Amino acid sequence: MKEYQEKLAHYFLDGDEDAALEYIKTLLNKYPRLYLFEDVITPAMYYIGELWEKNKISVADEHLATAICDFVLSKLEADSDGIKGHKQKKFKAILFGVEQEQHYIGLKMVADTFKDNGWRVRYLGPNLPLAHSLVQIEKYKPEVIGLSAALSYRLPTLKILIERFKDLHWKPLIMVGGRMAKKFDLKEFESDQVMVVKDLNHLHQWFKEGREGVINETS
């Protein structure tokens, strides 16, 4: 629904957090959260990125829009936490953006999707160096490590991280996502221990198929 995406994008660009939040809540009465994440909020942010690339908005405009989007996602998560009734599973995930990767909105939606499915999640944010990520990973020992990158020149860093995490003794599943996973063919990374996640629908299908249940078979 292009009209939903562009209307939301303009609320973000206007810095109108109240209108943006109310608009999303109205849409939630009609559509599931997954649809809003994948088909409304994500395209709205892509649209804003395209406006910036065409010099139709400034860097400050783009930062403001991202901040408002972040606010809306945080409010949705807080509201959802209050009504979730499912039992929390034993599975754990750590999610972060690779070093120098500043995009994080998609990663927050991934974190929320894991939580919706009962997982315990540590969201470490964007631009995390390997050494710092390893401290948390070794301490938390998650079943899934989620890496996010948007731009193709993050590939060398991504390769280093994947190889390092594949050596962890409990053999976590490494998920690679972000805009780069949607735009480029990353099949070279895929293996029994590495999964490329194209979008939130792909991740949702993984949960729906109960694929999380096979993690312990390789751990």
**What digits encode the pLDDT tens for the residues 69-107?**
999 999 998 887 655 555 667 899 999 999 999 999 999
Mean pLDDT (whole number) for 110-132 = 95
Q: What is the pLDDT of residue 219?
A: 47
Mean pLDDT (whole number) for 121-134 = 96
Q: What is the residue-wise DSSP string for 76-100?
A: HHHHHHHH--SPPPS-EEEEEEBTT
Q: What is the pLDDT of residue 214?
A: 55
Residues 6 or more apart whose Cβ sits within 8 Å of residue 187 = 196
Given a contact cutoff of 8 angstroms between Cβ atoms, the answer to whether 47 and 5 are in contact is yes
For the cut 90, the answer to whether the pLDDT of residue 210 exceeds it is no
**What digits encode the pLDDT tens for the residues 7-38?**
999 999 999 999 999 999 999 999 999 999 99
Q: What is the pLDDT of residue 2?
A: 86
Q: What is the pLDDT of residue 179?
A: 87
Given a contact cutoff of 8 angstroms between Cβ atoms, the answer to whether 113 and 200 are in contact is yes
- By C-alpha distance, which of 164, 143, 158 is closest to 206? 143
Residue span(s) of the chain under CATH 3.40.50.280 come to: 92-218
For the cut 50, the answer to whether the pLDDT of residue 218 exceeds it is no
Q: What is the CATH number of domain 92-218?
A: 3.40.50.280
Residue span(s) of the chain under CATH 1.10.1240.10 come to: 2-83
**What digits encode the pLDDT tens for the residues 150-202?**
888 899 999 999 999 999 999 999 999 998 888 888 999 999 999 999 999 99
CA-only gyration radius of the chain, Å: 17
* Neighbouring C-beta atoms of residue 15, cutoff 10 Å: 13
Q: What is the pTM of this model?
A: 0.89
Tell me the fold of 2-83: 1.10.1240
